[in-house]
Chain A
Amino acid sequence: MNCRSAQEFLLLEESGDLSARRLARLERHLSTCASCRDARASNRLVLDAVRGSLPSGEPSPAVLARISAAASSRAVRPALVFLPAPARLLAAAALFAVLLAGVYSLVARRETAARMEAEDVVAITAMLGHEPESAPGKDTALTPDEELTILARQLLRLEGLQAEEASLDDLMLSEESAPTDLQSRSASAYRPA
């Protein structure tokens, strides 16, 4: 090692930047070079004197309070805000994809429900033995709402027949009418309106 390198190594040694291997090399040089030993002592003296001479100062409590306030207003926000920009973008994209999937699922379920309702109308109508009504002047294809309306009417008719049957039962219990009377009465009850 020459003295020029040693001068640099002395500064690095003082700041703690020197590796153990290089420190050993420096020590070997210093053991044989008085000039560099003087330089090491001189450096330490100057740097200590500078440290002691230059004032340090302190920030005021008001400044520290302002920094603390800024820090706390940031700290209460979700940790998401501290994600780097690319990660935030990724998170936003993922959220958007989830929302989109949710909306699609909702729309698909509604369509399925509407289709099922229409199928139910057809099935129930078939059970009741009636052809589905169609609005005058319209094509045979009905909207879900129209089909539901028809179904509702069918069900009300069914309820009406049931109500008449119930009253017939009451009649059978309360009166001891002739069978023929009963038969004629029940027959008229089941006659479609």
Chain B
Amino acid sequence: MEPSDVELLKMYRGGDLSGLEKLIDRHRKPLFGYIWNMCNSQHESEEVFQEVWLRVIRNAGSYREKSFRAWLSRIAHNLVVDRWRSRKATVSLDMDDGEGRGVKDAMADKRMNPAGVAADAELGRRIAEAISSLPSEQREVVIMRTKGGLSFKEIARAQGVSINTALARMQYGLSKLRPLLKGEFESLNGGVA
């Protein structure tokens, strides 16, 4: 049975570096996915990602949360908000992914979309546009849920709001995205006997 996040952190506190390495590996993809979609560039995303883990390392001794993932997300949220405040950054379709490509191109690149659910690059572009046009709090909820894999309880804790507020923000975000997929939804419904 895999050790829990808290057990891995305890291992690290006891001097076993592999505890932290396993934590990083376990949370690397969702955490970076959230940060990447909230920041302006690969470089900035990496800076935030690194700072998140440095704070985890510094504060490992005083960790008392129930959910490590929620704690991690709150640290990431605070760092992302700091960046927003300093530059009023938004997710831009023209942002660079660190390899000289814009997000639009990245979405069209199948290597960046291993799930391959949204095969239509144009649809993907419209979805990304819609998300970038959302108010920052709603955008963050959508990204935390879809890329970060956080529950609404964890999202609420990370944003420092009630679970009802987190749900309301998600409802708002979905209401903006739903019309984009109206055609797909109708064809999906039409296929059901």
Q: Which residues of A contact B (CB under 8 A)?
A: 7-8, 11-12, 15-17, 38, 41-43, 45-60, 63-64, 66-68, 70-72, 74-76, 79, 81-85
Partner of B143, one of A54, A68, A72: A54
User: Are A49 and B151 touching (Cβ within 8 A)?
Assistant: no
Partner of A15, one of B97, B152, B171: B152
User: Are A43 and B174 touching (Cβ within 8 A)?
Assistant: yes
- List chain A residues, Cβ under 8 A from B21: 68, 71
Residues facing A in B37-60 (CB within 8 A) are 37, 42, 45-46, 49-50, 53-54, 57-58, 60
Complex: A11 Cα to B15 Cα, angstroms: 40
Partner of A57, one of B16, B24, B32, B151: B32
User: Are A48 and B32 touching (Cβ within 8 A)?
Assistant: no
Q: Which residues of B contact A (CB under 8 A)?
A: 12-17, 20-21, 24, 28-29, 32-33, 36-37, 42, 45-46, 49-50, 53-54, 57-58, 60-62, 97-98, 103, 106-107, 112-113, 115-118, 123-124, 127-128, 131, 142-143, 145-147, 150-153, 163-164, 167, 170-171, 174, 177-178, 181, 184-185, 188-189
User: Are A55 and B113 touching (Cβ within 8 A)?
Assistant: yes
A89 to chain B, nearest CB (A): 13
B92 to chain A, nearest CB (A): 13
- List chain A residues, Cβ under 8 A from B128: 53-54
- List chain A residues, Cβ under 8 A from B127: 49-50, 53-54
Grouping DSSP codes into helix (H, G, I), strand (E, B) and loop, the A interface class, with mixed when no group exceeds half, is helix
What are 10 sample pairs from A and B whose C-beta atoms fall under 8 A apart? A8-B171, A41-B188, A50-B146, A55-B106, A55-B113, A58-B28, A58-B29, A60-B46, A67-B50, A82-B60
Grouping DSSP codes into helix (H, G, I), strand (E, B) and loop, the B interface class, with mixed when no group exceeds half, is helix
Q: Given A51-B146, A52-B118, does the pair A64, B62 have CB atoms closer than 8 Å? A: no
- List chain B residues, Cβ under 8 A from A63: 46, 49-50
User: Are B33 and A50 touching (Cβ within 8 A)?
Assistant: no
A49 to chain B, nearest CB (A): 5
CB-CB nearest in chain A for B166: A11
User: Are B167 and A11 touching (Cβ within 8 A)?
Assistant: yes
User: Are B14 and A79 touching (Cβ within 8 A)?
Assistant: yes
Pick the 8 closest A-B CB pairs, nearest first: A52-B117, A82-B61, A57-B36, A53-B124, A52-B118, A56-B33, A53-B127, A55-B112
Partner of B181, one of A49, A75, A82, A84: A49
Q: Given A17-B151, A50-B177, does the pair A55, B36 have CB atoms closer than 8 Å? A: yes
Complex: A66 Cα to B174 Cα, angstroms: 38
Other than the known A49-B118, A57-B32, what 13 A-B pairs have Cβ atoms closer than 8 Å? A7-B171, A8-B171, A41-B189, A45-B184, A45-B188, A52-B113, A54-B131, A55-B106, A56-B33, A63-B50, A66-B50, A74-B57, A85-B62
Complex: A71 Cα to B57 Cα, angstroms: 6
